[in-house]
Amino acid sequence: MSLRGRTVGTTSLVAEAQFLVVVSGGVPVAIPSDLVRGILQPEDSQREQTIIWLGVAYPLTSLADRFGWSRAAWTPETRAILFGLGNSMLAFSVDRVMGLTDVDRRQIKPLPPHFSGPERKWITGLFLFRESLALVPDLTWLIGSPQEEAQAAALIEESPNPVQVSAARGMRQEPETVEAEEVNLADQLDVEPIEEVSDAENAPWADI
């Protein structure tokens, strides 16, 4: 089946990055599409187990758990995103899949300065997605494997680092500093509800 909700940005001379946007714990998260190996609808018995797909084992965990967010209830929209980098194969369960989007790298902005806790290690940048903000996770942190961190870092260095891009004018900020133990990105970013759209394009690995 085709992957719903693909969004294509305006043509730009600056290289674009393609992301698969998912919702986890009520927060849109953008995963680089070239790291996605597949999208599956996991069975109830697979919630805390390993998914075997095309002969490859993908340990399954909740993306919300990785960020320390409240995990949403398991629903028919829950999907397992098969994620691969080097020898690391992981599967993250997410609340739902929003779709593919192509983003001008200049539109990827760093976290606002008032985010001074551990979230700066978790998130490399963010960008506007429809009427909300999508977070771009740090690959070395997301993978969490010392053996693969060097490969992930090398992959990131091949393209402009979103953190080095200057902050967008008018980015929503709060004057106070957020303490590490009180971090809640969903609340701080005022994430708005997102609705899926009906347009679609085929993706070779999408099966939802």
| Per-chain mean pLDDT for the chain | 72
pLDDT at 73: 84
| Rounded mean pLDDT, 157-169 | 37
**How many independent structural domains does the chain possess?**
1
Task: Look up the pTM and report it.
Answer: 0.64
pLDDT at 155 over 70: no
Question: For the ranges 26-30, 45-49, 157-161, which has the lowest average pLDDT?
Answer: 157-161
| Rounded mean pLDDT, 42-66 | 83
User: Residue 93: inside a domain, yes or no?
Assistant: yes
Buried b (16+ CB within 10 A) or exposed e, 183-195: bebbebbebeebe
User: Residue 57: inside a domain, yes or no?
Assistant: yes
C-alpha angle 35-17-99 in degrees, rounded to nearest 5: 70
User: Residue 201: inside a domain, yes or no?
Assistant: no
Query: CA-CA distance, 22 to 134, in Å (whole number)?
Result: 9
Single-letter amino acid code for the residue at 116 = S
pLDDT at 151: 53
User: Residue 96: inside a domain, yes or no?
Assistant: yes
User: Residue 199: inside a domain, yes or no?
Assistant: no
Q: What are phi and psi of 130, to 5 degrees?
A: 55, -115
Residue with tokens 């691969």: 84
At 96, the pLDDT band (50, 70, 90 cuts) reads: very high
Burial class (CB in 10 A: 0-12, 13-18, 19+), 18: middle
Give the pLDDT confidence of 175-202 residue by residue, as tens digits. Answer: 333 333 333 445 544 444 444 443 444 4
Give the domain CATH number at 152. 2.40.50.180
Most confident range (mean pLDDT) of 6-10, 78-82, 139-143 is: 78-82
| 191 vs 91, higher pLDDT | 91
- Domain carrying residue 104: 3-165
User: Residue 204: inside a domain, yes or no?
Assistant: no
User: Residue 187: inside a domain, yes or no?
Assistant: no
pLDDT at 171: 36
User: Residue 46: inside a domain, yes or no?
Assistant: yes
